[in-house]
Amino acid sequence: MTRSTSLAAACALLLLGGGTGCAWRIKAPVKPPVGLIYTGYKAPMSVDFNQTAAQPERVGQSSVKYIGIPIPFIGYFDFAFGDASVAEAARNGGISRVDYVDYEFTAVLGVYSEMKTTVHGE
């Protein structure tokens, strides 16, 4: 009985996003569902739009990529590179005042994932 319970828990973890890179670790007010084979979504990083312009003048992006190569019986040989910070996205777009921030997440089979930060402002 313990073995089947452990197997069920492992399957639930994979279905809830444990096999999709870092998707299950993202802390944001809006997080769409995560898929086991492919995940792709865009969502706001904040839901407070009281003082934001409807059409910001500038847009900047930054991103980080993850690649994990599964090695049987050992785990993953993985690495990530890039800078998905709001400051980097603002710098890339020449933005001095940030109005709002969105993020985009893509993952394929837990082997490749990418997170993009998009900053809107002036």
Q: Which residues of the chain have pLDDT under 70?
A: 1-31, 49-54
Residue 61, pLDDT score: 96
Model pTM?
A: 0.68
User: What's the one-letter identity of residue 47?
Assistant: V
pLDDT tens digits, 9-26: 443 434 344 444 444 455
Residue 44, pLDDT score: 85
* Alpha-carbon torsion (58, 91, 104, 116), positive or negative: positive
Residue 25, pLDDT score: 52
